[in-house]
Amino acid sequence: MDEKLTNGNNFSLEKRMYKREKFEKIITYSTSLANHTFCYPADYKMLMLEGKAIDISYGGLGMITSFELEPGKVLLLNDIEGQDVGIVKSSHMIGSDSYRVGIAFS
């Protein structure tokens, strides 16, 4: 776990299990309008969306997207080698039409 120094004291402020690295790439991902589920009916339509990855670790990905994604939302990741599914862990509005999203690989 990463640790940071604050005023000379060692506090475990960074609660990530894996070190993040800068990673800039336009990625496509899919999700549904359904809530928090891996199982979709056969005729259910998925949304194909795009985001800009900004950092990556063994356990997850940070990205900027224009689509609001709620924590718990399941994403099908199309452009991340070795990682097909992610779960939204955090989402914060950072502009009038952009969100900073934290995704855990599943």
Q: 44 vs 11, which has greater pLDDT?
A: 44
Residue 82 has pLDDT above 70, yes or no: yes
Is 87 in contact with 59 (CB distance < 8 Å)?
no
Domain definitions of the chain by residue range: 23-36+43-105
Helix/strand/coil (H/E/C) assignment for every residue in 21-71: EEEEEEEEEEECCCCCCCCCCCCCCCEEEEEEEEEECCCEEEEEECCCCCC
Residue 100 has pLDDT above 90, yes or no: yes
**pLDDT over 50 (residue 72):** yes
- Which CATH architecture group holds 23-36+43-105? Beta Barrel (2.40)
pLDDT in tens, 25-42: 999 999 876 654 555 555
Global pTM value: 0.76
Q: Which two tokens stand for residue 28?
A: 């496509």
